[in-house]
Amino acid sequence: LTNLKIGKDAGGTNNDFGGDIGEILIFERQLSSTEEAKVVDHLVHKWGASPVAIFSPTSIPNLQLWLDASDTSSISKNSSNQVSQWNDKSGNGRNVSQSGANNIKPTLSSNSMKFSGSQYLFNTTPFMYSNGSIEIFMVASGNTQSDTRILFEGSTSSNNPFYAFQINNTAPQNKLAAYIRNTENSTRRSQAAILNDVAMDGTSKLLYWKDTGSSVIARVNGGASGSLGYSRTGTMSSNRFCVGGVLRASFGAGFIGEIKEIIISSPNPDNNRLEIEKYLGAKWRLDNFSTSHSQPITHIDVPPLFDNTPKFVEKPYLSNYSVGFSPSELGNVSYWLDAE
């Protein structure tokens, strides 16, 4: 690239630009669609360019619960980062809390809620099973662990009602499972692995469960699904919703790992599910995320182009792609002019 001129026609004055330029980035190579999405997202959010549709979980129909460890304003903790309350951002007021001793409070660290097997948060208004069907999206990490429960609904007066989304109970114990048992003590869904994809290998992954009322479906990182059927019979008389393990008259089967975000809603159409998965995969920069979610940049019309407001004529398919991103991370930057 030689004889670079900005705002001026090299051959005359008839085509000189009249307006403001906030930032220019020129690379020595063609960017991949993922890299392009990062750059566009950086510019759009930095300069407030519009119109850009920014996805938020609050736009999910029938959103039931939203817990986000990256939003410190939704978390109450002490000076040692031990958490006493994690507020629900869905608008339903299903905050989970822990008023007990500090050693049973999870710890907030690097935008993650850390559980060591004895910490948990809960409320007294379970809602998942009673919703009839439910869809769960969770960004979490952990290693192989024995039959531990991550989300649970049960009762303080009986051990029988048991509604849990968890890790499977047979070796290797690193896959997604669910365990469902009614108040009458009849097991409806055993804690066998729902699919073979590894969920627990020490890295953050998008974990997904959907209970349709007749089967439980699971996915890891937006990949192919697995499912196991069951039949809802009897009753499910519960009075506890717990994040981190099983809470009945006492606590047990505690999860060891980190949770970054949980979104629970009524089941979504596939296009909405994909949008939620894209949001979480992009926000948390998940490794080995399904390639079906890597969509190209999409062009949009911006009429009128010049009306004294910042405009960008492309937008990333993935909103909220990056946090703290710098174009220099991609390398091969020939020119980077920043009026800010």
pLDDT of residue 290: 61
Cβ–Cβ under 8 Å, residues 242 and 120 = yes
- Backbone Cα Rg of the chain: 24
Higher pLDDT: 314 or 49? It is 49
257: left (phi over 0), alpha (psi -120 to 50) or beta: left
Name the amino acid, one letter, at 78.
Answer: N
Q: Which helix (H) or strand (E) holds 247?
A: strand 246-247
Q: 271: which DSSP letter?
A: H
Q: Tell me the pLDDT tens digit for each residue of 49-63.
A: 654 456 889 999 999
Q: Tell me the pLDDT tens digit for each residue of 94-151.
A: 999 999 999 999 999 999 999 999 999 999 999 999 999 999 999 999 999 988 999 9
Q: What is the mean pLDDT of the chain?
A: 86
Among candidate residues 240, 282, 294, the one with its CA nearest the CA of residue 70: 282
The reported pTM is 0.74
Beta strands in 95-231 (DSSP E): 96-97, 107-109, 112-116, 121-123, 134-142, 149-154, 162-167, 176-181, 187-189, 205-211, 215-220, 226-229
Alpha carbon of residue 309 to chain centroid: 32
pLDDT band at 2 (very low <50, low <70, confident <90, very high): low
Decide if pLDDT at 181 tops 90.
yes
Decide if pLDDT at 302 tops 90.
no
Q: Tell me the pLDDT tens digit for each residue of 209-259.
A: 999 999 999 999 999 999 999 999 999 999 999 999 999 999 999 999 999
Higher pLDDT: 304 or 119? It is 119
pLDDT of residue 300: 35
Q: Is 258 helix (H, G, I), strand (E, B) or coil?
A: strand
pLDDT band at 313 (very low <50, low <70, confident <90, very high): very low
pLDDT band at 298 (very low <50, low <70, confident <90, very high): very low
